[in-house]
Structure 1
Amino acid sequence: MFRLHKTYLLAATLLLLLEIYIAGAVHDAIIRPYAGDLLAVIFLFCFASSFLTAPPRRVLLAVLGIAYLLEGLQYVHLLALLGLEHSRLARLVLGSRFAWGDMLAYSLGAVFLLAVAALHRRLRPPVA
C-alpha cells in the first residue's frame, strides 16, 4: 500500500515551492486565488501519489474531496469556531473565506490531472 515514487515526490516538492512563492509574493486577483487553488489539488495529488499505491483516480477523488471539505469548512467559518481567525498560518493553510470560484479551481485542477493521465495512456507504448 505504501511505496516511494520519486517522480511524484519531486513534482510535489516543486509545486509546494511554487505555492509558497505564490502565497508570499503574488498579490493579484487571478493567480493567487485561482491558480493557487488549482495547483493545490495537483500538489496534493502528487504528494499523496508519492507514497500511496492506490489507483490514480481513487487518489484524485480523495484529494478533490479533501479540497471540497476544506472549502466547506470555510463556509461554516471553522477558523472562527476554533478561535484561529487571527492566525496567519491557519488562514494560509486552511483558507478563510468560502468562494464558489475556489471550488471551480479545484475542479479544474482535477480535470487537468485527468487530461494528463489520458494523454499519458495514449502516448505510452503498448505492453507486449
Structure 2
Amino acid sequence: MKLQFSLKYVLLTIFIFLIEVLIATKLKDIFFVRAYLGDVIVVILLYTFVKSFFRVNNQKLILGILIFSCMVEFAQYFNIAEKLGFQEGSLMYIVIGNSFSWIDILCYAVGCLLIYLFVKVTENETLPANP
C-alpha cells in the first residue's frame, strides 16, 4: 500500500456518498432501494474512498472491504452501537447500524463482486494488445 492522492476517486467518492445520502433521506420509502441497493453501494463507496488516498492491490482491497463489512454486520448482532454508548438516531449509531441481517452480507458480497468485475474489465482494457 502506497500513499497516493487520486482526484478521480475523490470525486467518485463524493458522488457515491451523495447517492447514499439521497437514498437515506429521499428514497427511504422505496423498500428495495433503501434495504438492498444502499448496502450494495456502500462497499463501492468504501472502495473509492480508500483508492482516493492509497495505491493498493485491488483484489486485496475488495476482499478487505468485504471482511470489514461483514465484521460490522456481525457487530450489529451484538448491538455494538448501544454498547459503545451511541444514542439511537446519532450519526455513529446510524453508520454502525443496529440490526444484523444475512441479506445485508449478501448485498455487500454483490457490491464487492461488481467492483471486482469492473476492475477486471477496466484492467483488460488498459493492457496492451498482444502483437
Counterpart code for 1:2? L
Q: TM-score, normalised by structure 2?
A: 0.89
Counterpart code for 2:118? V
* RMSD (Å) for aligned C-alpha atoms: 1.6
**SS of match in other structure, 1:86:** coil
- Paired residues in the alignment total 128
**SS of match in other structure, 1:30:** helix
C-alpha separation in 1, matches of 2:20 and 2:78: 25
Deviation at 1:84, TM superposition (A): 2.2
Moved over 3 A (4+): none
The answer as to whether partners of 1:9 and 1:47 remain within 8 angstroms in 2 is: yes
The answer as to whether partners of 1:42 and 1:113 remain within 8 angstroms in 2 is: yes
Counterpart code for 1:3? Q
Residue pairs, 1:85-124, within 5 angstroms: 85-124=87-126
C-alpha separation in 2, matches of 1:100 and 1:57: 23
**SS of match in other structure, 2:3:** coil
Counterpart code for 1:52? F
Task: Give percent identity, aligned residues only.
Answer: 26
CA shift digits 1:67-124 (9 cap, x unpaired): 1111011011112222325233223211110001100000000000111011112222
Where do 5+ consecutive residues of structure 1 fail to align?
none
Residue pairs, 1:19-58, within 5 angstroms: 19-27=20-28, 28-58=30-60
Aligned to 1:3: 4
Counterpart code for 2:26? A
C-alpha separation in 1, matches of 2:76 and 2:127: 44
The answer as to whether partners of 1:85 and 1:96 remain within 8 angstroms in 2 is: no
Aligned to 1:76: 78
Q: TM-score, normalised by structure 1?
A: 0.91
